[in-house]
Structure 1
Amino acid sequence: MTQNGFDFGAELSHVAGVDEVGRGPLAGKVVTAAVILDPARPIDGLNDSKKLSPARRLALSQHIRENALSYAVAEASVEEIDELNILGATMLAMRRAVEALSVAPNFCLIDGNRLPPGLPCPAEAIVKGDGSVPAISAASILAKVTRDQQMLDLHQQHPEYGFDQHKGYGTAQHLAALVKFGPLKEHRRSFAPVRKLVEISQ
């Protein structure tokens, strides 16, 4: 059986799972990760990162970094999100993560329903793969731990926005802070709630 020119009868020795975190927030980068798990060193408890407690995610992220055959974390900047749109920036960040792997994958499993253009190997998109494919689960954990830490760092710089609570998502708390204090450079101008505030202030 072949798909995208790939022979599924071939040895799938280096399959990378790829996922993203941060498509929906009003602020911050979109972060992606790619992981090739080592069959000789299985990691118990992998799941969709959103279904894990912060402590469990942190512990698993360490296990993944110590036991995966290869992993990479990549991102797209707020400027790239505003220039390309969030989908284009996410696809770019996913490709960056795959290209940054120290072990070249011979196949990629991408969470979602779209494949990033320009991948260096054949790939398949899997809807809700972060809850069903261990390598994608591992990628979702690395990406979320990384992005959550970025939001905590941003909270240290601007505690009035509450980034430690909402992680950049458009909660009532975040929207109220935006109205009161105005957008930061980390806010995505292409997202409607931020764009409207920028237009009002001009």
Structure 2
Amino acid sequence: MMVIEQSIYSSSQSTGTAQANLELPLSSPLHLSGRINTKALFSPDNQSQSGGFEFEIGVDEVGRGPLYGSVVVAAAILPKAWSGETEVGLLQDTPLAILTDSKKLTERKREKLFEPVKQHALTYLIVEVPAGVIDEINILQATILGMRVACEQLMIEITKVWRDASELPTAPSTPLGFKLLIDGNKVPDLDEARLATHGICLADMTVTQPAGMVKFCAEAWVKGDARHNAIAAASVLAKVYRDRQLIADGARYPGYGLEGHKGYPTKAHVEAIARLGVLPEHRRSFKPVQQAIEGTLADTHYS
């Protein structure tokens, strides 16, 4: 079992396409937490028919709309027998039988699934992108950055484990590959130069690639959290992680109601900002928070 716990100030000092216009390192750290079940990950049960390993990594985010707190991205790999399209019913009679899009589950059911998903996932990674980064590079770029870090770091950590377990690190006898399944309509640009330094490359049939390279491909899945089990697992991890954070912050900052509205721009939240002021974790690049700082906030505009 390998535990991942890191704070980083950039994804890699990236010069990738999506982030080429951003000044890195970032002023606020991204927090990463997760786990790799090394024994289960590379068990024969998870090998493909060809004898190699090709892991489906489900990726989802939560928290783009709130006025407060982090945007959270999660990535998860389920056992091969459980990873597939939701409609196939692979999770029937498993501890994750009720798993679906986290937005379709009650808060109680999401909480009930959180620990079983972490326990039974072969590996998972949660990336927290704080409000300071959102204000620095905007919410869209912050979400893309969180997805990039989740995808890149999980592939890198698994590849390290795989190579360490092989007696032939430059040409492992058991092939390894990844398929990234991104919730949404766009695949983030990954830092291929950074990945290449770890022996990971985008699968490309038009180019001759060195032997022993770990290959990956990526797909965007519109409403993927309701369509694929691995994305649904990531969705639950991201949602519950962020909700728990907001519940804890609600106790730290009484009167704002964070434990209820989870930072979203409800009328009660905007009224609380107008009455009590802006907190350090509020997103200053969002209009209602800007207006509160400027003294021009009109809470009647929000519901």
Q: CA deviation at 1:167?
A: 0.1
Aligned to 2:56: 15
Matches within 5 A, 1:41-56: 42=91, 43-56=96-109
User: What is the DSSP-based 3-state SS (H/G/I as helix, E as strand, rest coil) of the residue aligned with 1:122?
Assistant: strand
Q: CA deviation at 1:48?
A: 0.8
User: What is the DSSP-based 3-state SS (H/G/I as helix, E as strand, rest coil) of the residue aligned with 2:274?
Assistant: helix
Query: Out of 160, 176, 179, which is 1:107 matched to?
Result: 179
Q: CA deviation at 1:50?
A: 1.1
Q: Are 1:95 and 2:95 matched, yes or no? A: no
Alpha-carbon separation, structure 2, partners of 1:27 and 1:117: 27
Q: CA deviation at 1:118?
A: 1.4
Alpha-carbon separation, structure 2, partners of 1:139 and 1:132: 12
8 Å Cα contact 1:25-1:170 kept in structure 2: yes
User: What is the DSSP-based 3-state SS (H/G/I as helix, E as strand, rest coil) of the residue aligned with 2:79?
Assistant: coil
Q: Are 1:129 and 2:182 matched, yes or no? A: no
Q: CA deviation at 1:200?
A: 2.4
TM-score by length of 1: 0.89
User: What is the DSSP-based 3-state SS (H/G/I as helix, E as strand, rest coil) of the residue aligned with 1:14?
Assistant: strand
Query: Out of 161, 171, 174, which is 2:256 matched to?
Result: 161
User: What is the DSSP-based 3-state SS (H/G/I as helix, E as strand, rest coil) of the residue aligned with 1:161?
Assistant: coil
Q: Are 1:76 and 2:76 matched, yes or no? A: no
TM-score by length of 2: 0.60
Q: CA deviation at 1:187?
A: 0.3
Fraction of identical pairs, as percent: 47
State the one-letter code of the partner of 2:259: D
Alpha-carbon separation, structure 2, partners of 1:45 and 1:139: 14
Show structure 1 runs of 5+ residues with no match: 1-9
Q: Are 1:24 and 2:65 matched, yes or no? A: yes
- Structure 1 window deviating more from structure 2 (34-43 vs 96-105): it is 96-105
- CA deviations on 1:95-120 (whole Å, 9 max, x unpaired) are 22223424356110101112222165
- CA deviations on 1:150-190 (whole Å, 9 max, x unpaired) are 10111011120000110000001001001101110110000
8 Å Cα contact 1:75-1:96 kept in structure 2: no
8 Å Cα contact 1:109-1:123 kept in structure 2: yes
Aligned to 1:141: 236
State the one-letter code of the partner of 2:140: L
Aligned to 2:12: none
User: What is the DSSP-based 3-state SS (H/G/I as helix, E as strand, rest coil) of the residue aligned with 1:184?
Assistant: coil
- CA deviations on 1:64-112 (whole Å, 9 max, x unpaired) are 1111111110111111100111010011111222234243561101011
The alignment covers a number of residue pairs equal to 192
Alpha-carbon separation, structure 2, partners of 1:173 and 1:33: 29
Query: Out of 101, 110, 118, which is 1:57 matched to?
Result: 110
8 Å Cα contact 2:152-2:190 kept in structure 1: no
Q: CA deviation at 1:12?
A: 7.1
- Structure 1 window deviating more from structure 2 (21-30 vs 102-111): it is 102-111
8 Å Cα contact 1:12-1:107 kept in structure 2: no
Q: Which has the higher helix share?
A: 1
Show structure 2 runs of 5+ residues with no match: 1-49, 83-90, 160-176, 196-215, 297-303
User: What is the DSSP-based 3-state SS (H/G/I as helix, E as strand, rest coil) of the residue aligned with 2:282?
Assistant: coil
Alpha-carbon separation, structure 1, partners of 2:71 and 2:281: 11
Q: CA deviation at 1:40?
A: 4.0
Aligned to 1:172: 267
Runs of 4+ deviating beyond 4 Å: none
8 Å Cα contact 1:69-1:103 kept in structure 2: no
State the one-letter code of the partner of 2:260: Q
State the one-letter code of the partner of 1:150: Q
The one of the two structures with greater contact order (alpha-carbon pairs below 8 A, sep at least 6) is 1
Question: Which structure has the larger Rg?
Answer: 2
